[in-house]
Structure formats: C-alpha cells, structure tokens
Structure 1
C-alpha cells in the first residue's frame, strides 16, 4: 500500500481527465458547457478541485522586440470535494459564462489565426495534478457580424488578426489584452490609408468599436496613426443601415487629423441618425472580407483549419514544458501600460 501511494505521488496510476464541450463554438458573453469525464487510477484519490481556465496566445512588445505567451484570462471552479474510486468513471457537468471581451477566432467557418484554449485542471490530494486541453472556438455576436459584414460590402479585405497585450486608453476594456483585426482598404480609401485595424470591446449592453488608421504621408508631411472609437448597442443590429454607419466611421477616422495617442473621438449611434432600415445580413460582405484576402478553402492567412487546431495544443503544451509561467509573468508585468 505504501508503494502504491508512492506511485500515485509521482503520477503513476493517477486518474485521467477528459473534457468534452457540448457545442463546437461559443459567442462572447455566452455559455460554455460540457462534461469533465474522470476515470480513476490504480487507487482511490480525493479530487480536491476541478478548474477550467480560458487561455489565449498573446503578443507583447518589449524594448528587446516582441514575444508571445499564454495568458489565462478567466478561471472557474466547476467541481471537486469528492472521492474518486479505483477505476471509477464519473462525469461532472458544467456551464459557465465566457467574458464579453473574449476574442473572436472564427468567421463563417474560417479560422482567423487567433489561438484560444480551455484547460481543465484536476487538483488531486497526495498525487500529481492532471490536466486536459481543448481548443476554444468563438464566433462573432450579431452586432460584431454586422460590422464585419458592412466592411466586406464596402470592399475591405482581411489581412490578419492577433491579440496584443496592453490597454486602449479611454475605453472600458477589462481584459489585459485586446484583439486587432487588420484590414486592407478598398481603392476609394487606399490613397489615404495603408491599412485599418479594428478592435471590438464588447459588453452586455453593446459594443465599442475602435478603429486605427495607418495614414499615408504627403510630400511634406509624415504618415501617422489616427485612433477613433464608436459605440453601438446589441439592439441596433436590425435597425441600422450598417453600410452607411460603418462608412461614416471610416470617413471620420481617415479624415482624423489628431496624432496617434490623442483622445479618441466618441460617437454613439442613435436611431434618429439613420433613415434606412435593414432587418437581415446574409453574410456575403463578411465572406467578401475573407475572399479578398485569399481565405477560401478553409485557410486564413495561410493557416489551414486543421493546423490551427493542432497549433492550440502545441503552443500551450510547449508553454507548460518550457516554463510558460515565467513568460506569462513577463507579459503580466506590462499589464498597466496603455495602448
């Protein structure tokens, strides 16, 4: 019996854990549900806690350059406090709410290259803790989809998407990182900007849309960045003329004369500002965003769907093996720096 406990302490014969999610994808602010399936090992053990962590691959800028690390941006306790018998099988169901600011990493079945994961942690008394890692797929909310749809209709193309560590000043941002979706401009704006970066900061009531334009310089003036933000509500989805609304945003940011870092312009959409009413969005515009960047056949930015799924496991597992905690602390050390 003493030898059996020793084997358990070094991980031999420990319980196994496998998390199965109910749905293929979730929405920001929506429910993430599933089952944590446990199987006992060679001896009964006390399961102290079952935890779920949401992880993201985040880029950070340093004086030495850029680095990337895994950041846990939400954690839940979904069970624990029971004895798991030898070879016993048990399932623990859960349903948790993901943060409203959870980044989007899939659009109309196309992965955007943003790596997210769900890590299950099993705290076991007198034995090595166990874990399981699963990909997390997040699709846009209707209001986010409406904005992307309009951008596609206006001729913008998708270039890339990533997660940047830091905060955007003057916004209600809650997470220690934000998502940037980089778009290529159509010909009508190409003379003014080289690209536009889009950030969604979502809450229960609506959406802050942050637009950053990389403005071209002239013969006597250097290029610079212009930052502008706008707000819309979830209930605005069926009532706004989104092409007109978003085109107005683009015109404001491209005409913005303030230098990068200035106080952002704030505009709240209201029903009185709009004459046309549209009730549905078929998705052709957002699909055009992907098509314009050559994102057909299940590839985004040269990353095939299956490769993205594999990358999730490879990245976070390497983080654990190579001292990812230290790297994450390095990322968190800059958390208070503003955009």
Structure 2
C-alpha cells in the first residue's frame, strides 16, 4: 500500500497540499508582506526540498508585429530548508519579505499574485495562488492627483515591456494613459502617458510621453513618423510632490 501511495503521489494524487494565508491583502510596493504557509501531508510521507513564494504579474510585449502576454516572477522567496512531511501531518511556516519596488499597481488590467509551491522530487509540485491588491505609492498617487487636477482623465493602465534602456532594472514598466478631458490641455493631445520607475526607496524617475493632436497635412506626416511624440523626464523626491502639479503644468504646456 505504501508503494502504491507513492506512485499516486508521483502523479499528484493524494500528495501534500500547500496553503498560504496572508496577514493582509492590500499593500504598497516596498512594504513588508507577511503570513504563514501551511503544508498538510498526503497519503504517504514526502521529502520537500523547499517551499517558495513568488510574486507574479503579467505584461505585454511585441514581437514580429504580434502582441504577447507574458507572466513574470518579479521576486522569489524561499521559506525553509529541506524537510519531510509525514502522512496527514500539518506544518506551518511563518514568512515575511518586502515587496519589490517595481511591483505594479493593480489598476486597469494589471493583476499581481503570490504563487506558493512545494519543490518535491519525482512528484507533481502542489501550488497555491493568492491575488493581492497593490495600491499607489506616494509618487504615483501625487502624479494621478496632479493629472486629474489638470483636466486629464485616466483611460488605461497596463504593463508593457520596458524600453531597452531600462531592462537591466525591470523587464516591464507600468503605463498610465490619460486623455485631456477638460482644463487647459483639452483638445491639444491625443494622449499623455506617465511611467514611474523607482530609483531606490526615496526617488522615482517619472517619464511622460506627450502625443500631440494632428493638425493639418504636415502633422499627418509627423504622426506617420512618430514625430508628434515628445518625452519629458523628471527625477522626483518626496520634497517635490507638493509642487508636482505646477511643475507638470509647466512642462506639458511646452508641448501644447
């Protein structure tokens, strides 16, 4: 019977189960995330090489004129050294770690989740998936509020493959796409995109892409060549947030 149970466990029948329970479900990038991972033995004893928790999200990339959605683990946390889980035994493993600063905000189509797994040789590794909410940090919230006050309406939020210059920092960036719905910039832009790239815990690089509206034949040619797009780069610290709205107004106005 023991041999039969081991055979079943090797194909995922009656093997150990894993369940991660979080102390909270909403976070800001950079905050500590904590909880406990419970492992319950199956029909036979199994050797577990490790328990791992990975932070996942998805992003879009283009290749050969096609779009693909990739899942990416932006962080991996190992909980333990190898151990044996006996038949029906229950073990609990507390954990805590800091969410990466590049963890995207769960707005629009963006989703973030924890994937917990057991690494068991010669068996189907059991797993557990937990969705989490990521709220805007102080920089993103200040940028969203400033944009809204200037008459911009948030139209889309998604993660896309990072520009080549930033791929050493992150494989993707999160883009916040706005339209000028009211205020001084109404009718002057097709869209404006904000991208926030962390430069440590106390600085953020804000990239702004301004896409001007087409006016006349010359502008049509400019649009075809992407010459109607302009880029603004800012480095922000906490001290800059109180004046961010006026600074954005001044910078964006240069391209209106």
TM-score w.r.t. the length of structure 2 is 0.89
Secondary structure of the equivalent of 1:136? strand
Which residue number corresponds to residue 231 of structure 1?
Answer: 235
Equivalent-residue separation in structure 2 for 1:207 and 1:51 (angstroms): 30
1:131-142 paired onto structure 2 within 5 Å: 131-142=127-138
Runs of 4+ that moved beyond 4 A: none
CA deviations on 1:32-69 (whole Å, 9 max, x unpaired) are 21111111111121121011111112111122321212
- Tell me: higher relative CO, structure 1 or 2? Use CA pairs within 8 A at least 6 residues apart: 1
1:1-339 paired onto structure 2 within 5 Å: 1-105=2-106, 111-167=107-163, 169=165, 174-187=169-182, 188-202=184-198, 203-219=200-216, 220-221=218-219, 222-223=222-223, 224-237=228-241, 240-252=242-254, 254=255
For the Cα contact (< 8 Å) 1:163–1:179, is it kept in 2?
Answer: yes
For the Cα contact (< 8 Å) 1:173–1:201, is it kept in 2?
Answer: no
CA deviations on 1:198-234 (whole Å, 9 max, x unpaired) are 1110231211111001112332233321111111113
Gaps of 5+ in 2: none
Equivalent-residue separation in structure 1 for 2:120 and 2:215 (angstroms): 64
State the Cα RMSD in Å: 1.9
Which structure's residues are more often strand, by fraction?
A: 2
CA deviations on 1:107-131 (whole Å, 9 max, x unpaired) are xxxx422122111111124422111
For the Cα contact (< 8 Å) 1:9–1:127, is it kept in 2?
Answer: yes
Aligned residues: 246
TM-score w.r.t. the length of structure 1 is 0.68
Gaps of 5+ in 1: 106-110, 256-339
